[in-house]
């Protein structure tokens, strides 16, 4: 799922292309995409985009007349831009995804076409049309901006309830825009276990974690900006080869070369380095550790010894 760095770069690219531009036509190709009936989505046609903002992991388009479009890409939603301005040349529209298949909607502006696609067969991406800015509050989970937070406000939000660190960081009611991928990177950088309890953290732990949140989110936003350049973001993915642990199960940790481990649950997974984050302890995988029972290795040393044997 696109998170704070990805959404930020999407919004910056959109602002350069559609702010001040008129939405000429909306075409919906999925009956599951639009989740509101009033105001009707075609009421946005003929209006100029006057604002773009991030609301958690959502992209918000503000239109003239206090009309708002809230887009949630969920896990597999992605945006594509086709420049139809005279400077783009005659072949510009050739790169636009063809209607049908994974295309959920197209938004035609006087500067180009924005296309929303969603991979797979599950239709989770959503659009909401809101008739006044005050109505946006219904779509805001309420988490604080992790980049604008002080150590005190960050610690207060994190320790409000006693949860695992992984759950706390990814709770949108606590923090705005942090998800599965970047939480793995943050916890690795902070040298903290994903299953440590939030109310058990020391002041030193909280300080490292707060610093890691700011450093990782800022660094990744800058990387994605450089990658996109003046173009539109094309490689929006939760799995990047230069990540430290996320999506790197079975590969060496870039800090200590220990094999990265994971806990799989539902449609998500936690990736971590046992030497850097858990003092060498292997965290129990709900399915595999139950299956192996007493044969489940308790430490990375045991696991490596079994591997050598």
| Rounded-to-integer distance, Cα 269 and Cα 271, Å | 6
For a pLDDT cut of 90, what percent of the chain falls above it? 81
- Nearest residue to 143 (alpha-carbon basis) of 173, 180, 108: 173
pLDDT tens digits along 19-29: 999 999 999 99
- Count CA atoms closer than 13 A to 282's CA, side-chain side: 20
Domain parsing of the chain, residue ranges: 4-139, 151-308
pLDDT above 90 for 100: no
pLDDT tens digits along 232-281: 999 899 899 999 999 999 999 999 999 999 998 767 789 999 999 999 99
- Nearest residue to 194 (alpha-carbon basis) of 264, 266, 291: 264
Residue 301's pLDDT is: 57
Number of Cβ within a 10 Å radius of residue 62:
20
Residue 93's pLDDT is: 42
pLDDT above 70 for 295: no
Q: Given this chain, do its domains 4-139 and 151-308 carry the same CATH topology?
A: no
Cβ contacts of 217 within 8 Å, gap of 6 or more: 4, 5, 146, 147, 177, 178, 182, 186
Average pLDDT, the chain: 89
Alpha-carbon 284 to chain mean position: 26
| Rounded-to-integer distance, Cα 183 and Cα 198, Å | 14
| Rounded-to-integer distance, Cα 85 and Cα 229, Å | 19
CATH topology (fold) of 151-308:
Helicase, Ruva Protein; domain 3 (1.10.8)
**Which single residue is written with the structure tokens 């302890």?**
281
Phi, psi of 115 (to 5 degrees): -115, 135
Q: How confident is the model at residue 1 (pLDDT cuts 50, 70, 90)?
A: confident
22 and 52 Cβ atoms separated by less than 8 Å: no
Residue 302's pLDDT is: 58
| Rounded-to-integer distance, Cα 45 and Cα 21, Å | 11
DSSP 98: P
pLDDT above 90 for 136: yes
**Rounded mean pLDDT of 51-78?**
97
Tokens (6 digits) for 31: 């009956």
pLDDT above 80 for 139: yes
Note the pTM of the prediction, 2 decimals.
0.89
Tokens (6 digits) for 255: 């800090």
Query: CATH second-level architecture of 4-139?
Result: Alpha-Beta Barrel (3.20)
């Amino acid at each position: 799922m696109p998170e704070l760095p990805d959404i930020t770069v999407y919004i910056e690219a959109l602002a350069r292309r559609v702010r001040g531009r008129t939405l000429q036509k909306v075409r919906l190709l999925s009956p599951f995409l639009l989740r509101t009936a009033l105001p009707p989505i075609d009421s946005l046609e003929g209006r100029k985009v006057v604002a773009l903002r991030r609301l958690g992991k959502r992209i918000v388009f503000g239109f003239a007349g206090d009309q708002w479009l809230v887009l949630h890409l969920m896990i597999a939603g992605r945006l594509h831009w086709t420049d139809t301005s005279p400077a783009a040349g005659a072949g510009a529209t050739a790169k636009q995804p063809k209607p049908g298949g994974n295309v959920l909607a197209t938004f035609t502006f006087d500067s180009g076409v924005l296309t929303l696609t969603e991979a797979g067969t599950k239709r989770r991406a959503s659009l909401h049309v809101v008739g006044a800015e005050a109505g946006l509050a219904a779509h805001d989970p309420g988490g604080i901006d992790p980049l604008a937070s002080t150590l005190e406000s960050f610690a207060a939000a994190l320790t409000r309830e006693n949860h695992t660190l992984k759950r706390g960081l990814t709770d949108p009611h606590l923090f705005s825009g942090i998800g599965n991928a970047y939480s793995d990177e943050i916890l690795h950088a902070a040298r903290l276990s994903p299953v440590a309890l939030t109310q058990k953290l020391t002041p030193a732990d909280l300080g490292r974690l707060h610093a890691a949140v700011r450093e990782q989110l800022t660094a990744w936003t800058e990387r994605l900006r450089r990658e996109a350049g003046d173009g539109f973001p094309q490689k929006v993915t939760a799995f990047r080869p230069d990540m430290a642990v996320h999506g790197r199960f079975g590969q060496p940790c870039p800090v200590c070369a220990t094999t990265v481990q994971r806990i799989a649950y539902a449609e998500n997974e936690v990736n971590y380095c046992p030497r850097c984050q858990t003092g060498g302890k292997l965290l129990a995988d709900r399915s595999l550790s139950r299956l192996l029972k007493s044969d489940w290795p308790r430490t990375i040393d045991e696991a490596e010894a079994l591997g050598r044997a």
